[in-house]
Structure 1
Amino acid sequence: MLYVDLETSSGPFSFRYSIATPTSHSAQQIAPEIPCILFLHSGYVAQECFEFQFCDANLRQFNLIAVDMRGYGETIGTIGDVQFTPSESAVDVDQIMGKLGLPPCHIFGLSNGCAVALELAIRSPSRVSSLTMCSPPPTKEPEIVSSGHLEVYDDWVLMNLTANGTVRPETDTTYQQMALEVMTGTHQLLYNHIRDDDVIAVARFGLMVGKRNWAGSSEKIKQAYKTSVEWFEKRRHVPFEELKSITMPLSLIHCREDVAYPIEHAKEWEALLIKAGVRVTLHEVPGTHYGSVTNPVEVNTVLYDTVVSCHPQMINKPYIVRKPGQRKLLTPFTQLLVEGVGYSPDSSDSD
C-alpha cells in the first residue's frame, strides 16, 4: 500500500492512496505522459468502491488515482474533536496532490466526494482539469437523509456499546443483530437492496473495514460520528460568487433510482451552475445512490466522455488487452476484496 504523510487540522495523518496505469494495475507512480483521474469517495466505504472504474478498460487508458479520506479505509490518524467537513477534506486532497507532484487532474466525486471536489475546484482551480460529480448532494442535506445517517450511527453505537458504555464482544447477540441493522440500513441508502455479487462485496468490505476503524473504543465511536454524520451534515453552503470562479467543464450525473437525492436536486445544481457561467451538463443514468457501483458502465461512459473532451487525442485509443478468460482488469483493490469478502471479479461482466 502507498502512503503520503501530512500534517492536517486534526494532527498527523498517513493517507493511503492507490494508482493504476495502462501498464500496471497497482503502480508506484503515474505515467507522466497521460492524463490523471482522481477519485474521491463518499461515506461508509473507502476507495475500494471504485473497483468498477479502475477495472474499466476505457478508463485505464489514463492514470487512475484514489485516496482514503480521514477516518476511512487504510488511512492512519485520529480526527479527534476538530471540525471535519468536505472543506477540510479538500485541503487534504490539495496537499496530497502537491506532495505527490500530481499534475492537474480530472476529478470524479461520488456523493459527498462531490462536495470535496467542488471545494477543491474553488480552492485550487489549477489542480482541476474537469469535474464529474455522481449523485451530488444538495446544498443542505435532506431531512430524510440526515435521519438515515443518524439512524445508522445510532445502530452502530448500540452494536458496539452496552448501556453502561462497555464494549460489546462480536459474539454478543445484540452486536450481531445491530450489525445486520447497520448493513441493511446502509445497503438501502446506497444500493436499494440490490443483491448483485459485486455490490454485496463492496458493501461487506465497507462494513468489515468500518468495524476496524470505528469500533472497539469510545474514541473510535467518536470517529464513526465524524465520518458518517458530521462530514455530511456540516458541509458548508458554497456562495454563488465562488461558483462563478469554476472555469473547468463539469458533468453532473443523476442516477434514476437514487432514493437519497431525487432529480430535482441535480436540476437545481444545473440551473445554479449555468447561472454562474459554468460549462455544465446534466446526465441521467440508471443506478442507485452509488451508481458508480451498481451501474458502472453508464457512469464510466460519462466520466470517459468528460475526460476525453479535454484530450481529443485520447479518443479511440486501443483497449488494454485482457488475459484469456479475464472479464475485468485487475485493480489495486481486487485482491483486498477477494481476500476480505470473497469477491469474485470474473463472476459477472459489469465492465
Structure 2
Amino acid sequence: MPKVLIHPSAGPFSVNYTISTPSSSSSTHIDAALPTLLLLHGGLIPSETWTPQVLNVDLRRFNLVLMDCRKHGGSEGGDVETFSFEDSMDDVFHFMEALALPPCFLSGLSLGASTALHFSLHHPSRVLGLVLISPLPWIEIEAVSSGRRELVEVWGLAMSTGNKELLPHVANGAAQMGMDNVSNPFIDALLECSITYGIAQWSSPKQITSLKAISYDLLVSRGRIGRDALAKITSPILLIFASADSAYPLPLIEEVQRDLVDAGLEVDLKVVDGASHFANCTQPEAVSALLFDFVRKRATLPLFDGSPDVSSPFLSTLSPKYLDFEEDP
C-alpha cells in the first residue's frame, strides 16, 4: 500500500492508505470525475475493517479512500504521550491536503465517527456529507472505559513480559466489545491482522504509552460538544445505530441526535437490525446500502456507470481464510 508523510499538530508520521476506484482496487490517485468517500476505521483495528465495503459493487461506483490512522495498521511512526480529537482530526486534514483530495463524503466507525464529527466542526467546507457508524455518546460509560483500560493493560503486560499467550485475551475482549462475539472468516482474519499490526505498533514502552493515549485516554476524556460548535457543521448527517450494540444503548445515541438537531443540522438516524458495534463488519450489506444511498442522493458528480473492478486490496495483509467471505459477501 502507498504511504504519505504528513506533519500535523501531534507530530509527523507516515500514513498508510488505500484508494479504491471503479477501475482499480489499489490506486495512487482518485478518479476526479467521481464522488469520493473517505472512511475512518475504529480504534485498535486497521483499514482492513472496511473490506466488506471495498468489495461492495455499488460503493465501488465512486472513489473509496481509506487511511490507517496514527499508530494503526501499516502507518509508521507517530508516537505520542497525549492525544486529543483535535489532534486526530488534524491528522485527517493533513492527510487530505497531502493527497490533494477534494471535498469528500466522510464516514467514521466508532472512534473514527468522533474524529469525523470533529473534522466537520473545524473544516466544514471539506465535508459534503457525514455518516457516523456506531457513533460514541458524548460521555464514556464507566463499564466500557474499564474494559478499554483492561485491554491496554493486558496488551502492555504481554509486550513487557514476552507472554504472547495473553494476546488472544485482548483479541477476545476486542471481539466482545466490537463484534459481540460474532465470528465469520472475515472477522477472524481481521482480528488476526489487527494483532499482527499491533505487535509492530505497540511493543516498546514508548509505543505502549502511545497505545494508551490513542485508545483509552482519548476516549475517556471526550465530552459534550456545545450547540454553537455543532452549528458550524454545514453538511447533512446520517447516524447509523447497531441494534445489538452491547456497549452503547440507543437512548445515548438519540441524545447525540437531539443535540445535532437542536444546532439546526439536517440529521437522520437509521437502526441496523442485528448489527453489533462494528456494524459494517457484522451487517455489511445493510451498512453498505445506507452508505451508497446517502452518497448517491447528495453527490453532484455522476457515479461510475459500468462494471467496476471489485477485488480486494488486502490480499497481502488478511489471512487467506477471509477469501470465503470475499467470494460470497
Say whether the fold is shared (TM-score over 0.5): yes
**Partners of 2:40 and 2:113 within 8 A in 1:** yes
* Equivalent in 302, 312, 333 of residue 314 of structure 2: 333
Is residue 2:191 matched to residue 1:203? yes
* Equivalent in 202, 222, 239 of residue 214 of structure 1: 202
- Deviation per residue, 1:76-100 (Å, 9 max, x gap): 113232x212221111111111221
Quote the residue 2:308 is aligned against.
Answer: 320
Quote the residue 2:46 is aligned against.
Answer: 46
Mapped to 1, the partners of 2:269 and 2:325 lie a distance apart of 32
Secondary structure of 1:98's aligned partner: helix
TM-score by length of 1: 0.89
Deviation (angstroms), 1:319: 4.5
Quote the residue 1:297 is aligned against.
Answer: 285
Mapped to 2, the partners of 1:316 and 1:282 lie a distance apart of 27
Deviation (angstroms), 1:11: 2.6
* Equivalent in 196, 201, 219 of residue 232 of structure 1: 219
Mapped to 1, the partners of 2:174 and 2:190 lie a distance apart of 12
**Partners of 2:20 and 2:64 within 8 A in 1:** yes
- Deviation per residue, 1:278-310 (Å, 9 max, x gap): 111000002100011111100111111110111
**Partners of 1:51 and 1:334 within 8 A in 2:** no
Quote the residue 1:14 is aligned against.
Answer: 14
Tell me which amino acid in the other structure corresponds to 2:269.
L
- Deviation per residue, 1:14-40 (Å, 9 max, x gap): 111110000001111000100000001
Secondary structure of 1:336's aligned partner: coil
CA RMSD of aligned residues (A): 1.8
- Deviation per residue, 1:134-154 (Å, 9 max, x gap): 000011111111011011111
Deviation (angstroms), 1:316: 9.5
- Deviation per residue, 1:57-77 (Å, 9 max, x gap): 100001000111111111111
Deviation (angstroms), 1:198: 1.1
Mapped to 2, the partners of 1:155 and 1:110 lie a distance apart of 24
- Deviation per residue, 1:293-344 (Å, 9 max, x gap): 11110011111111011127757944436xxxxxxx313223321xxx3333
Mapped to 1, the partners of 2:151 and 2:53 lie a distance apart of 27
TM-score by length of 2: 0.94
Q: Which runs of 5+ in 2 are unaligned?
A: none
Q: Which runs of 4+ in 1 moved over 4 A?
A: 312-319, 347-350
**Partners of 2:51 and 2:312 within 8 A in 1:** yes
Q: Mean alpha-carbon deviation: is it higher for 25-34 or for 95-104? A: 95-104
- Deviation per residue, 1:149-191 (Å, 9 max, x gap): 01111111221224xxxxx2xxx4xx31x21211111110011
Quote the residue 2:121 is aligned against.
Answer: 122
Give the structure with higher Rg (CA).
Answer: 1
**Partners of 1:31 and 1:63 within 8 A in 2:** yes
**Partners of 1:296 and 1:350 within 8 A in 2:** no
Quote the residue 1:241 is aligned against.
Answer: 228
Mapped to 2, the partners of 1:133 and 1:277 lie a distance apart of 18
Mapped to 1, the partners of 2:10 and 2:325 lie a distance apart of 41
Tell me which amino acid in the other structure corresponds to 1:61.
R
Secondary structure of 2:235's aligned partner: coil
**Partners of 1:244 and 1:278 within 8 A in 2:** yes
Tell me which amino acid in the other structure corresponds to 1:161.
S
**Partners of 2:15 and 2:76 within 8 A in 1:** yes
* Equivalent in 318, 321, 327 of residue 343 of structure 1: 321
Quote the residue 2:65 is aligned against.
Answer: 65
Mapped to 2, the partners of 1:72 and 1:229 lie a distance apart of 14
Mapped to 2, the partners of 1:80 and 1:311 lie a distance apart of 37
Tell me which amino acid in the other structure corresponds to 1:73.
G
Q: Mean alpha-carbon deviation: is it higher for 147-156 or for 304-313? A: 304-313
- Deviation per residue, 1:214-237 (Å, 9 max, x gap): 12x211221221222122223343
Q: Which runs of 5+ in 1 are unaligned?
A: 163-167, 322-328
Q: Mean alpha-carbon deviation: is it higher for 13-22 or for 235-244? A: 235-244
Mapped to 2, the partners of 1:159 and 1:313 lie a distance apart of 49
Is residue 2:299 matched to residue 1:311? yes
Quote the residue 1:24 is aligned against.
Answer: 24
1:299/1:347 Cα in 2 relative to 1: closer, same or farther (>3 Å)? closer
Percent identity, aligned pairs only? Answer: 31
Number of residue pairs matched by the alignment:
328
* Equivalent in 258, 266, 276 of residue 279 of structure 1: 266
* Larger RCO (alpha carbons 8 Å, 6+ apart): 2
**Partners of 1:58 and 1:319 within 8 A in 2:** no
Mapped to 2, the partners of 1:5 and 1:102 lie a distance apart of 15
